[in-house]
Amino acid sequence: MAGEKINYEYITEYLHQILPETTGYLRAMEEYANKNDVPIIHKEMKAFLEVLCKVKKPDRILEIGSAIGYSASCMALACGNCCQITTIERDSDMTTLAINNFEKLGLSDQIRIIEGDAVEVLSCLTSKYDMIFIDAAKGYYNEFFEYAINLINDGGLIISDNVLYKGMTAEDSIVKRRQKTIVGRMREYLIMLCNHKKLTTSVIPIGDGVAVSIYNERGNDIE
């Protein structure tokens, strides 16, 4: 169906074939998400996020949008026990599931989940982070960013998932009427990211599209 995928299906299938299968409890989380229609990061996005974690070696990560805690768990396992993760989730049922999943994976001491509206929680945070992963309500990325830019360390990464939004961000002809507002806001968000004077941003067409931005406190202009 038009608008459901951002890549050629044969490319996505090939990537899924060559990437190793998830095992253990993470696999059980994937199966739960699939059975219960809980959105979690795509397989190729999981691998990409793990690479970023291993390259950046962050001490502190902030995640906006926990769901069942799958992506937070993947990042924690990729970083090792030296990294502390704070993740935000507004749905109490998801929060309960995430806490249980962290316990099952032995990550309770490494991951702290805060239940509440993301904007309200972000407005109360003061600590700085080496990596911020944005994966919550797509129509509110601009609002999340206003706080994220003040919470990221110099040289830190801001990772925004689902920015191509089933391809609709890039192509008017497949935009569904009920999603025009979200698509419009996402386009504004990407334009802002790519032109921000203190960010260097790459938009990568894997999963549902991901933007990776590196923050430079001094700005990118060369004098």
Q: What is the pLDDT of residues 87-106, one digit of tens each?
A: 999 999 999 999 999 999 99
Classify residue 220 by its DSSP letter.
S
Q: With a cut of 70, which residues of the chain have pLDDT below it?
A: 1-5, 221-223
Q: What are the DSSP calls for 122-187, one per residue?
A: HTT----EEEEEE-S-GGGHHHHHHHHHHHEEEEEEEEEESTTGGGTTT-GGG--GGGHHHHHHHH
**What pTM was computed for the model?**
0.94
Bridge partners for 133 per DSSP: 63, 159
| pLDDT of res. 5 | 63
| pLDDT of res. 204 | 96
Task: Phi first, then psi: give them for residue 107, nearest 5 degrees.
Answer: -110, 10
Q: What domains can you pick out in the chain, each with its CATH number?
A: 9-215 (3.40.50.150)
